[in-house]
Amino acid sequence: MSTFWSLWVMALVVFNLGLTLFLFSWARKVEIPTLEDGTTGHVWAHGVLRESVRRLPGWWVITSAGMFVFAFVYLLLYPGFGAWKGLLGWTQHEQHATQVALNDANVAELNSRFAQLSPEQLAANPLAQQIGERLFIDNCAACHQRNARGNPLLGAPNLVDDDWTWGGDDASITTSILEGRQGLMPPLGSLGADTVTDLAHYVLSLSGAPHDAARATNGQPGFALCSACHGSDAKGNPIMGAPNLTDSTWTWSKGDLPAIERAITDGLHGVMPAWKARLNQDDTRVIIAWLRSQSGDRLARR
Ligand code: HEC
Ligand code: HEC
């Protein structure tokens, strides 16, 4: 605080406290002229209402005096009177630093307790679930939805089914979170709309979804192009993030024909940002624990 503002604040404090203190003591001593009947002589309503005189009640005087004492003691001990630091040397910065250190110590203690739990025990631990859920809401829900069921518009997958594009073991999920993931499916519209539709019917046939059998048969040979990434059995490839096309879970759609045609024609590019700047291994552990607790038995560790 510059000297000017310090003096300015001091002047305001002295003025305000001085003025109220003056009014306080003056109001206690001042003589109010009264008539013989004990009233001031002010009348209203043709003499029906008359103003009488009463001294300040004792409780009010004592409370006010107590407040003045409190104000003086406070300004003596704590910062508040301009640049005066207060006798206790208390600062907000220091209090903040102390609280942060306290919190860090609590978190470290908690994490060392969590470290002794197996992933299954962690997923069953209510406190870990609560922290994992909070971290998920803060960092992940914007794309994967509050319930972690995913968002087809962004290509953000469902994280509580047991279908994983990039691998569903703890280490792979941790890498997905800390390092981020980017799947790249190239646009193949150049194959021509007809071929694309044939391929889409073939893709639908892989998971037993309703499809045109003749078109699927036409599409099958063309799938050789796709199997480079999706695998010759179309079960996907976690190294490239190419999803399994033979199950009935879909990331980018509900598995309807137009959406699959669009995926083949325009390509897909999902971006999962890297979180290592914000989250560490301890955080991902509780997030994964929460995800597992949400999916129950279906997501038993593999
Ligand atoms: C900006 C949107 C966005 C945010 C925020 C986000 N994700 Fe993702 N995430 C994605 C997308 C998109 C993918 C799919 C990437 C791909 O395969 O192309 C993905 C993929 C993943 C995968 C891989 C899934 C699989 O099937 O292998 C995991 C695990 C994951 N995210 C977890 C998280 C967690 C945990 C958070 C919060 C810490 C998070 N994500 C935050 C968009 C996001
Ligand atoms: C260069 C590798 C590559 C090739 C070739 C490729 N894909 Fe893909 N495909 C991917 C990747 C990676 C994704 C996931 C994209 C993402 O989520 O970011 C994907 C996603 C998809 C999806 C969306 C799946 C879902 O869950 O929503 C469909 C459908 C698909 N591919 C079909 C095909 C077909 C059909 C072909 C051949 C015509 C093909 N792909 C060729 C890499 C490839």
Q: Are residues 158 and 280 in the same domain?
A: yes
Mutate to test the pocket of ligand 2, among 154, 191, 206, 229 (most ligand atoms within 8 A of CB): 229
Residues of the chain with pLDDT under 50: 297-302
Decide whether any atom of ligand 2 lies within 6 Å of the 211 Cβ: no
Residue 118 CB burial class (10 angstroms; 0-12, 13-18, ≥19): exposed
Mutate to test the pocket of ligand 1, among 140, 272, 290 (most ligand atoms within 8 A of CB): 272
DSSP 49: E
**pLDDT for position 297:** 47
Question: How far is the C-alpha of 91 from the C-alpha of 72, rounded, in Å?
Answer: 18
Decide whether any atom of ligand 2 lies within 6 Å of the 183 Cβ: yes
Residue 239 CB burial class (10 angstroms; 0-12, 13-18, ≥19): exposed
Phi-psi region of 43 (alpha: psi -120 to 50; beta: other; left: phi over 0): beta
In the chain, the number of structural domains is 2
**pLDDT for position 37:** 82
The candidate with the shortest Cα–Cα distance to 256, out of 206, 193, 189, 211, is 211
Q: Are residues 127 and 267 in the same domain?
A: yes
Q: Is 205 helix (H, G, I), strand (E, B) or coil?
A: helix
Question: How far is the C-alpha of 224 from the C-alpha of 256, rounded, in Å?
Answer: 22
Decide whether any atom of ligand 2 lies within 6 Å of the 229 Cβ: yes
Q: Are residues 38 and 162 in the same domain?
A: no
Q: Are residues 271 and 189 in the same domain?
A: yes
Q: Are residues 134 and 198 in the same domain?
A: yes
Ligand 1 atom nearest to CA at 291 = 35
Ligand 2 center to 225 CA (angstroms) = 11
Q: Are residues 281 and 187 in the same domain?
A: yes
The amino acid at 72: F
Ligand 2 center to 138 CA (angstroms) = 30
Ligand 2 center to 157 CA (angstroms) = 14
Q: Are 40 and 34 in contact (CB under 8 A)?
A: yes
Domain that residue 212 falls in: 121-299
Beta bridge partners of 242: 237
pTM of this prediction exceeds 0.85: no
Q: Is residue 16 part of a domain?
A: yes
Q: What would the pLDDT profile of 246-257 be if each residue is shown by its tens digit? A: 998 999 988 899
Q: Are residues 51 and 197 in the same domain?
A: no
**pLDDT for position 296:** 56
Axis-axis angle for helices 92-115, 126-139 (nearest 10): 120
Decide whether any atom of ligand 2 lies within 6 Å of the 159 Cβ: no
Q: Is residue 83 part of a domain?
A: no
Beta bridge partners of 269: 184
**pLDDT for position 117:** 94
Domain boundary among 77, 104, 135: 77
Decide whether any atom of ligand 2 lies within 6 Å of the 209 Cβ: no
Ligand 1 neighbours by CB, cut-off 6 Å = 139-140, 142-144, 154-157, 159, 164-166, 173, 176-177, 181-183, 241, 270-273, 275, 279, 287
